[in-house]
Structure 1
């Protein structure tokens, strides 16, 4: 079960508890009006129990969120030497490492960039019959210097069909896409796994989670969401 499923299960459990407590509270109030002397003590105990459970669930939800964020940070750190390359033509029985290094070298002039700079290299996803959809390629570099050299010179790919992006975790990718929908592509970018956003007040904000994104000021006007 991933982080999102854990959060969903927690929210469902809390919602069910609130519903059942509300139903029981209504029945208890009705019974209290009929037998005030015998129900008053039970009502007081119920309120204490309800407050205890609600507090416990809130604490548990906070701990689950903190744990999920910690796991996400560890996963993102493990991807620090990785990049995604999009738009590289795909062929049957291809030598992916040679294909991707030659494709990038044709546009990005980084000295000594070759297959020996890659620890691992593979395409993501299953092979499909849709020839128009190219699977992205995951690159894991042997050292950070070469990874950063490719990342810092990716603007040389402008005008080609090839793009380079960071290999974000599932949750951070969702936050990044939500940020682009809200503020526009030109106002959102990533660096070292963090999502950076230029808000309407021209401030630069750094976020990791959807909760952090939601508290940022809303755009003052509609922004473009296409390149």
Structure 2
């Protein structure tokens, strides 16, 4: 954070110096009857300087956002969300969670001592039950539950990681692009498979834009740069002479 502060102060000083110099040049030009070309050149130089400065500030701000997001995600490392669990009056959230995991997951050793707390997340609504937030006492226990989550398949219950708002937005955008089955998270990291089975770590919306352009520029099936339809045509073309030769021999 201190480095970013120093950088921003240096940029502010640089902009002030450049603006003063530009103002001085304008005053000098007035007394010398400046041409349109000279004023245009001065303006273009100043505009380039401002654009470069703003881009540098944007990079610094992005670095701050990433650092804060990573720190917040680390604080959520021991937390999982259980979705689809009906809400009951005066429910014991820890007991509800343990009853479900013991029934559907292969974790008979899981006990209430493993759970630090369990609460409903968000405001209660009429349409669907709120997610059950479960915080574990250790990463190991949390990971055991996470890797056993396939036991909930077909039950209507699902487990997800407690992503930050920033990462949740990126995760949703990745799923919209590649499909739900091709995107998942692991320890807060967003992982995606493109239609060719290549794996990507998605860290920003710009990564998704790059992936969108990459997938759009490639055919749906890759085999030496030939599409699936063309491969079938070429294959048939190669086989036809052989079929004809075999037919001629039989005759």
Q: TM-score range by the shorter chain?
A: 0.7 to 0.9
Give 2:122's match in structure 1, choosing from 110, 125, 128.
125
CA distances 1:40-98 after superposition (whole Å, capped 9, x unpaired): 55444433332222111111011111111111111111111111100111012111111
Segments of 5+ residues of structure 1 without an aligned counterpart are: 1-35, 222-227
What does residue 167 of structure 2 align with? 172
Aligned-partner Cα distance in 2 for 1:50–1:176 = 36
Residue aligned with 1:164, SS: strand
Q: TM-score, structure 1 length as denominator?
A: 0.75
Query: How many residue pairs align between the two structures?
Result: 187
Question: For 1:58-207, what aligned pairs fall within 5 Å after superposition?
Answer: 58-128=55-125, 130=126, 132-207=127-202
More displaced, 36-45 or 113-122? Answer: 36-45
Aligned-partner Cα distance in 1 for 2:203–2:77 = 15
CA distances 1:83-132 after superposition (whole Å, capped 9, x unpaired): 1100111012111111111122110121321222111211111122x1x4
CA distances 1:10-49 after superposition (whole Å, capped 9, x unpaired): xxxxxxxxxxxxxxxxxxxxxxxxxx93355544443333
Residue aligned with 2:77, SS: coil
Aligned-partner Cα distance in 2 for 1:179–1:50 = 35
What does residue 52 of structure 1 align with? 49
Aligned-partner Cα distance in 1 for 2:117–2:103 = 21
Higher RCO (CA-CA < 8 Å; seq separation 6+)? 1
CA distances 1:113-152 after superposition (whole Å, capped 9, x unpaired): 1222111211111122x1x411001111001111011001
Aligned-partner Cα distance in 2 for 1:127–1:141 = 23
What does residue 25 of structure 2 align with? none
Residue aligned with 1:215, SS: helix
Q: What RMSD over aligned residues (CA atoms) do the two structures have, in Å?
A: 2.3
Contact 2:101 2:107 survives alignment (8 Å) = no
Give the C-alpha shift of residue 192 in structure 1.
1.0
Q: TM-score, structure 2 length as denominator?
A: 0.68
Question: For 1:208-223, what aligned pairs fall within 5 Å after superposition?
Answer: 208-216=203-211, 217-218=214-215
What does residue 31 of structure 1 align with? none
Please tell me whether Structure 1 or Structure 2 has the larger radius of gyration of its CA atoms. Answer: 2
